[in-house]
């Protein structure tokens, strides 16, 4: 999560949506009073190399409670106060669920010599946890952010946010966590059963954003 008082925006980081890359890009335009939460040590090295600010102002104190990675809308609003949250430009990213599930599959098992059966993986709890992305930009089921960018068009849509906020420079995105997945289309891994499982678990997201297999 990043809350920039200097530029009056809040970025909430969903899972498997290039959120770390966006955080690194945004941290480069942050000021000394902005809130920047921690990411993994490996990704912090990328942030440092890119010239981004290190994690700052996320602990308690100075915050009433510690801010953290993948912090949801309600927790962030409670932390910053409703007046600040509602007056800042708030945004997150969402992704085609069938594609996101495949991305998580390769990321989760990236250190294994042999991947587990994809069909079995899709039936496990991991994708239900991934579907909780929707809770990060909703409160009591209602969309509360000013914008949810689409991962599939991220470069163009992030540029629109950059222009809207009049941020300096360009949103140069590093490739964080992007090496675990081999080339190929996500559809190649699915059977009708696994396709339907994702459709059921992510029904709200698919309906809200009009995603198709």
pLDDT of residue 112: 87
DSSP state, 56? Answer: B
Alpha helices in 41-142 (DSSP H): 41-50, 73-80, 82-87, 97-108, 118-122, 126-130, 133-136
pLDDT of residue 174: 80
Contacts of 159 (CB under 8 A, 6+ apart): 170, 171
Residue 8 · residue 89 · CB < 8 Å: yes
pLDDT of residue 183: 62
Q: What is the chain's alpha carbon radius of gyration, rounded to the nearest angstrom?
A: 17
pTM of the prediction? 0.93
Cis amide bond preceding 23, omega within 30: no
pLDDT digits (tens, 9 = 90+) for 117-160: 999 999 999 899 999 999 999 999 999 999 999 999 999 999 99
Ranges of residues in the chain whose predicted pLDDT is under 50: none
* Residue 73, phi then psi, degrees to nearest 5: -60, -45
Q: Where are the domains of the chain?
A: 2-209
Among the listed residues 122, 34, 133, 49, the one whose alpha carbon sits nearest the alpha carbon of residue 92: 133
pLDDT of residue 181: 63
Topology, domain 2-209: Rossmann fold (3.40.50)
Residue 29 · residue 167 · CB < 8 Å: yes
pLDDT of residue 104: 93
Cis amide bond preceding 62, omega within 30: yes
Residue 118 · residue 189 · CB < 8 Å: yes
Query: Taking CA 117 as the corner, what is the angle to CA 111 and CA 119, rounded to the nearest 5 degrees?
Result: 130
């Amino acid at each position: 999560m990043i809350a920039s008082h200097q530029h009056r925006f809040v970025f909430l980081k969903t899972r498997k949506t290039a959120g770390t890359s966006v955080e690194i890009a945004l941290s480069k335009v942050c000021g000394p009073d902005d809130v920047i939460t921690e990411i993994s040590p490996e990704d912090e090295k990328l942030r440092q190399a890119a010239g981004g600010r290190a994690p700052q102002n996320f602990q308690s104190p100075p915050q009433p409670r510690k801010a953290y990675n993948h912090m949801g809308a309600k927790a962030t609003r409670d932390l910053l106060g409703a007046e600040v949250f509602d007056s800042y430009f708030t945004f997150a990213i969402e992704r085609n669920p069938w594609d996101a599930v495949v991305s998580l599959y390769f990321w989760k098992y990236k250190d294994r010599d042999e991947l587990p059966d994809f069909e079995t993986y899709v039936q496990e709890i991991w994708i239900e946890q991934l579907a909780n992305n929707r809770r990060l930009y909703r409160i009591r089921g209602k969309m509360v952010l000013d914008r949810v960018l689409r991962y599939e068009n991220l470069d163009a849509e992030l540029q629109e946010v950059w222009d809207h906020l009049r941020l300096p420079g360009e949103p140069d995105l590093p490739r964080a966590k992007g090496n675990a997945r081999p080339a190929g289309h996500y559809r190649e891994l699915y059977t009708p059963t696994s396709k339907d499982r994702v459709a059921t678990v992510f029904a709200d997201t698919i309906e809200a954003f009009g995603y198709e297999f």
